[in-house]
Amino acid sequence: MTQLPKAKYRKDYQEPEFTITDVDLTFNLHPTETRVTSVLKVVRQGDHTKPLVLDGEQLTLLSLKVDGEDVAEDSYECNEHSLSLNTSLKAFTLEIENSVNPTANEALEGLYLAENTFCTQCEAEGFRRITYYPDRPDVLAKFTTTIIADKAEFPYLLSNGNRIKQLDLDNGKHMATWQDPFPKPCYLFALVAGNFDVLRDEFTTREGRTVDLELFVDKGNLDRADHAMLSLKNAMKWDEERFDLVYDLDIYMIVAVDFFNMGAMENKGLNVFNAKYVLANPATATDQDFLNVESVIGHEYFHNWTGNRVTCRDWFQLSLKEGLTVFRDQEFSSDLGSRAVNRIQDVRVIRSHQFAEDAGPMAHPIRPDKVVQMNNFYTVTVYNKGAEVIRMIHTLLGESGFQKGMKLYFERHDGKAVTCEDFVQAMEDANGEDFSRFRHWYSQAGTPVVTAEQSYDKDAKQLTLVLKQETASTPGQEQKAPFHIPVKWSAYSEQGAELSLSDNNLLHLKENESTFTFDNVVEKPILSLFDNFSAPVKVKRTISDDELRVLLAHSKDDFSRWDAAQSLFTRMIEKGINDDSAIELSAQTIDACRNLLQANTDPALKALALTLPSASTIADNYETIPVEAINTQLKSLKTQLAVALENDFSQLLSACKSEKAYQLVGDEIAKRQLKQVCLSYLAELGDAATDKLTEQFDQADNLTDQLGAMQAGVWANHSAAESLLNKFEQQWRGEKLVMDKWFSTQALANNEATVERVKDLMTHPDFSLKNPNRVYSLLAAFTQNQAQFHKADGAGYELIGSVIQQLNTSNPQVASRLLSAFVSWRRYDENRQKLMRNQLESLRQLPNLASDLFEKIESCLTE
């Protein structure tokens, strides 16, 4: 009988019994039998006589020596998960020799060989699949790495730090030795061996030091590497200017690989990237792809300080580095591009994904208390809500207070493995603040619902605002203490003039209920609350449509203008659902949309404001999600808006066309975005749009426009859709990253035939279940297709259930991502609940159920 995976608890943290000061690794690379020699300088930390326990998985132990002598068989024990050595020594050298099979490694964790490139992924607990080691982030050691491989096949041998030796060996082999002077946890270790094209550049730090920059891409892809290199240099400069942080090694390398479970990895001095976040040129990447490259390159670079120089004490502290680094990459994108657009997009992620996670059975605080499989906790909560928590600290302290806190944080903790608490403490101490209430954001899961009631006393010229907060219980947390919620606000007259009611535009809601009064208020104000989404909460308030329209037209806060539009749309959809009747577009709504289209506003903001809320954002407001009704109402609202505003959309579509060749600059990106929204509405009008769709597709000199035309056609079920899909396939067959978009477009089509189409596409020559990007683009995309994945006959569930079953043994991380689509099964009607539950139960029966799946299935089937 195999053992059930066990949970670990944050409260059980104990300091390591031993530390490692130096690691000397030698890899003799071989596709099926790579030999690893690891020489460790081990130092006992406490004075007890506990054995040394090293983690190790899927390894074959070949030999073991202490201080040069073979270890007697009765002095050590080796099992499936660990190697323990009985010793009373205080300090010693341990030499381990083991072998691994990189070809058999389809999980892409540890050392793997894919498309003739050896590559590693160690975070969170992958190093134990390379060699026996204390695989925990609070053991920091200096690494020296020697790699030996065939020279013709693997001309580049890379690892962390600086290359200190390279030489040719006999029989066609060569070797390279790398040394990383900064002590680091093993999750930051990396090794890459392969054949690449290299883009080289350099960056001069503000101290005048030259850093070599090297970008490794698959042969033939150099024409897609420039943007990533530019983004890297921009990130290095930005971090010096905004955060006073300078790069610390003489070389920075980025390798783009095709087989990778996630976006990228911040290994010290040697980032490994999913090629999707590196390769970009106008023909093969959309505007959004270019922006994503910039943001992920930035993110991994920023980890060099927030994550690598100061790292996590244990994995429960993951948000210490991820929340903070997401906040930093968001700021980077906002400083270089449009702050408002970035903010709105970040909020959309929170509302459409994080709120659902916070309301489901896997809900966890940004600093979790209990974990079975760490890979399950790289979540929108830890990352994106984590970044919102950092953003609130920034709101409370202001930029200069926040930077004071950062400075103290680095002064205290550089070179150490620390906790979220250490971060908050530094912020408090540097500013003389008290964040005791604020800390609940770290310890409590769930989305607070803030209720706002305002009343105005005309005679007393007094405005009263009552704010209440309530957070529903989440698994393991029945009662919630009140959060410290920063509420940014502004006020307007009925005509839209800004009213100044106070010289402070930030309220602090710290209790379950607080009353705020404003004196000398001469007219009844319209309040804009939670400007810039100042806290990750849901807001319930009484506000009329007319007042929302005033905010839409006049709020000085771009987020709040967008939010007012979203509220107006959501209200219409919800009314349609409740009354079970078609939405009637009022003249005021049409006018408000038309005014917005014609206003002198950033076209990107117009595009965002006129994009209807996603089905999942609407679903979030229902205890039992009315799948069909949401779908019907969204569709009908879109068509009605298209009919009512046809001329406006057509005119804007032409006006946004650019005479110039493609340029990746703010206003051109914004125009393309607005053009896309117009085209997607017009596509709802059927044949009238055929020429517009084909013309844009055929004439596009860039992927944004070409893909945009195809998506508008397919998602509107337009009669031109099939021909656009065919043309696209003819042109891009074999171009994997571009074909991913072809897969996603079809998987997201709201069309009765989609499930069958997705099944067919799984047999397409460009599809493979082994490559995570393909699985995400076709199958994970399909799970986001509310109406079709949740088709009442259960065909969508069956399809994804069977894929999860296949991936359970080969790549559990990818399987677990797909499983997320089932965890909120209780939110659906009885019929769907039954169908989803069946899938979960049959997965639960799988022999060798991966811990990744086990954890999610258990938590969502528990009563």
Active site residues: 300
End-to-end CA distance of the chain: 25
By CB under 6 A, the count of residues binding ligand B3K is: 12
Token duo for residue 435: 């964040």
Distance CA(393)–CA(344), nearest Å, equals 19
Strand pairing category for 82-85 and 52-55 = antiparallel
For ligand B3K, the closer CB: 129 or 606: 129
The CB-of-322 to ligand B3K minimum distance in angstroms stands at 5
Other Cβ atoms less than 10 A from the Cβ of 544: the count is 9
Of 375, 384, 745, 788, the residue at the interface with ligand B3K (CB under 6 A) is 375
Residues in Cβ contact with 785 at an 8 Å cutoff, skipping those fewer than 6 apart = 747, 748, 749, 750, 754, 796
What x-and-dash track marks residues 665-704 binding ligand B3K by CB under 6 A?
Answer: ----------------------------------------
For Zn ion, the closer CB: 94 or 188: 188
Stretch that binds ligand B3K, among 59-67, 297-305, 430-438, 442-450 (CB under 6 A): 297-305
Backbone angles phi, psi at 236, to 5 degrees: -65, -40
Token duo for residue 716: 């509107």
191 near 27, Cβ under 8 Å? yes
For Zn ion, the closer CB: 312 or 821: 312
What x-and-dash track marks residues 376-415 binding ligand B3K by CB under 6 A?
Answer: --x-------------------------------------
Other Cβ atoms less than 10 A from the Cβ of 465: the count is 21
Token duo for residue 688: 């009238």
Stretch that binds ligand B3K, among 75-83, 260-268, 446-454, 582-590 (CB under 6 A): 260-268
279 binds, among ligand B3K, Zn ion, none (CB under 5 to 8 A by kind): none
856 near 819, Cβ under 8 Å? yes
Task: Tell me the residue number closest to ligand B3K, measured at CB.
Answer: 123
Pick from 68, 57, 54: which is nearest to 19 by CA? 54
Q: Could you check whether the bond before residue 124 is cis, i.e. omega within 30 degrees of 0?
A: yes
Q: Residue 499: which H helix or E strand, with range?
A: strand 498-499
Residues in Cβ contact with 622 at an 8 Å cutoff, skipping those fewer than 6 apart = 827
Pick from 839, 862, 843, 842: which is nearest to 790 by CA? 839
602 binds, among Zn ion, ligand B3K, none (CB under 5 to 8 A by kind): none
Distance CA(602)–CA(30), nearest Å, equals 55
Of 42, 186, 262, 625, the residue at the interface with ligand B3K (CB under 6 A) is 262
Fill in the DSSP letter of residue 525.
P
The CB-of-808 to ligand B3K minimum distance in angstroms stands at 17
Token duo for residue 114: 């894919």
Angle between helices 830-844 and 795-810 (to 10 degrees): 20
For Zn ion, the closer CB: 239 or 322: 322
The CB-of-260 to ligand B3K minimum distance in angstroms stands at 10
For ligand B3K, the closer CB: 105 or 431: 105
For Zn ion, the closer CB: 286 or 295: 295
For ligand B3K, the closer CB: 321 or 741: 321
The CB-of-126 to ligand B3K minimum distance in angstroms stands at 8
The CB-of-262 to ligand B3K minimum distance in angstroms stands at 5
Pick from 773, 784, 800, 790: which is nearest to 746 by CA? 784
Residue 265 in contact with ligand B3K, rule: CB under 6 A: yes
Task: Indicate the length of the chain as a whole number.
Answer: 863
Pick from 661, 665, 583: which is nearest to 618 by CA? 583
Of 55, 322, 740, 855, the residue at the interface with ligand B3K (CB under 6 A) is 322
The CB-of-299 to Zn ion minimum distance in angstroms stands at 6
For Zn ion, the closer CB: 384 or 632: 384
Distance CA(401)–CA(205), nearest Å, equals 25
55 binds, among ligand B3K, Zn ion, none (CB under 5 to 8 A by kind): none
**Look-up: residue for tokens 């540097």?**
430
Residue 266 in contact with ligand B3K, rule: CB under 6 A: yes
Of 124, 148, 685, 747, the residue at the interface with ligand B3K (CB under 6 A) is 124
Positions that interact with Zn ion (CB under 5 A): 322, 325
The CB-of-772 to ligand B3K minimum distance in angstroms stands at 11
Residues in Cβ contact with 693 at an 8 Å cutoff, skipping those fewer than 6 apart = 679, 683, 709, 712, 713, 718, 720, 724
Backbone angles phi, psi at 583, to 5 degrees: -70, 135
Distance CA(486)–CA(392), nearest Å, equals 7
Distance CA(684)–CA(799), nearest Å, equals 29
Stretch that binds ligand B3K, among 33-41, 296-304, 450-458, 496-504 (CB under 6 A): 296-304
The CB-of-107 to ligand B3K minimum distance in angstroms stands at 11
What x-and-dash track marks residues 698-737 binding ligand B3K by CB under 6 A?
Answer: ----------------------------------------
Pick from 618, 643, 640: which is nearest to 566 by CA? 618
Residue 422 in contact with ligand B3K, rule: CB under 6 A: no
Residue 338 φ/ψ region, left for φ over 0, alpha for ψ in the -120 to 50 degree band, beta for the rest: beta
Residue 300 in contact with ligand B3K, rule: CB under 6 A: yes
Stretch that binds ligand B3K, among 175-183, 295-303, 756-764, 788-796 (CB under 6 A): 295-303
Residue 855 in contact with ligand B3K, rule: CB under 6 A: no
Pick from 374, 253, 354, 359: which is nearest to 312 by CA? 374
For ligand B3K, the closer CB: 108 or 739: 108
The CB-of-524 to ligand B3K minimum distance in angstroms stands at 47
Stretch that binds ligand B3K, among 147-155, 222-230, 259-267, 396-404 (CB under 6 A): 259-267
Of 95, 123, 346, 557, the residue at the interface with ligand B3K (CB under 6 A) is 123
Residues in Cβ contact with 333 at an 8 Å cutoff, skipping those fewer than 6 apart = 291, 294, 295, 298, 342
Token duo for residue 489: 């606000």
262 binds, among ligand B3K, Zn ion, none (CB under 5 to 8 A by kind): ligand B3K
For ligand B3K, the closer CB: 262 or 725: 262
375 binds, among Zn ion, ligand B3K, none (CB under 5 to 8 A by kind): ligand B3K
Token duo for residue 225: 């590497």
The CB-of-182 to Zn ion minimum distance in angstroms stands at 18
The CB-of-810 to ligand B3K minimum distance in angstroms stands at 16
For ligand B3K, the closer CB: 134 or 323: 323
User: Rule CB under 6 A: which residues touch ligand B3K?
Assistant: 123-124, 262, 264-266, 299-300, 303, 322, 375, 378
